[in-house]
Chains A and B, each alone.
Chain A
């Protein structure tokens, strides 16, 4: 695997009391605490990328393996949360770039999409379920990614830019485009008319 798991430079880290707490216990104990604290979040974030529960579980496990193995190298340049998010993002992106994914997984994804109809049908389904979450999952990965990091992970555009090695302007542009796509797909205007918003 050619993943780059070094945390992105996210600027000065906030006073991370969590890190200082973790540094006082063994690496094994720290891992257990981190898995309990961040496991669910990592799992869901990975799902935003991969759209497959088992794949997300697999990546989430790999994230904590990386956390454990690179713990000594983590210098606290960013918060533990951001560091773990960075590893998750890198692993997911690696997975999406891998030939295996392209040849195998996307093949299945494609077939699934064929079975469930096209993007329009997916969007209609999302409307039916009244779930923005579902609609987000239908976005192309570059937009899904920024939406997940911004709204789910609670990162700023600057932090996302540092993580993805893109300019802040690019991230803002992608966010704007992602919102526009969501608007098109979910049909907020139509819903607002119906709901009298």
Chain B
């Protein structure tokens, strides 16, 4: 029926980040201050033919972060039916400007999905050599994201809801591994050099 899409291209030689938004949650740009990249407002993709999408551009600086997310973050619901919300997300991004922001957001959001009554942790390890390897490690309940994957060829966009994000992310990777070890979910995505 429709999907939402944010597309951004980072040009490493000019440090320009060019982007367009098709109805997706606008990402945050964490620099000397926290800004929302909400100046490109396009329609969700797949609804009308011949939609046009306006391109925008910012110049990134050393240490800047562009934080992308889906409505799974702001619409995560706690047990007492309270939304995680954008205010809480912005607060975490303000407090954890740099490398820890993704882990902290995941920990906070996971409280409503994976941890039950206890607090848990999320660690993300990234290793860059001739390949990029990203390992997500969380102490939530056992969940294998490789199970129940949607089949893109068979996907009926008018009948099915959700499941494409995971599929797209895993298809972009060259290798995806999952293990449940010592009460931790460990998900590893590997991108080889020719993809980088």
Q: Do A and B come from one complex?
A: no
- A residues near B (Cβ < 8 Å) are none
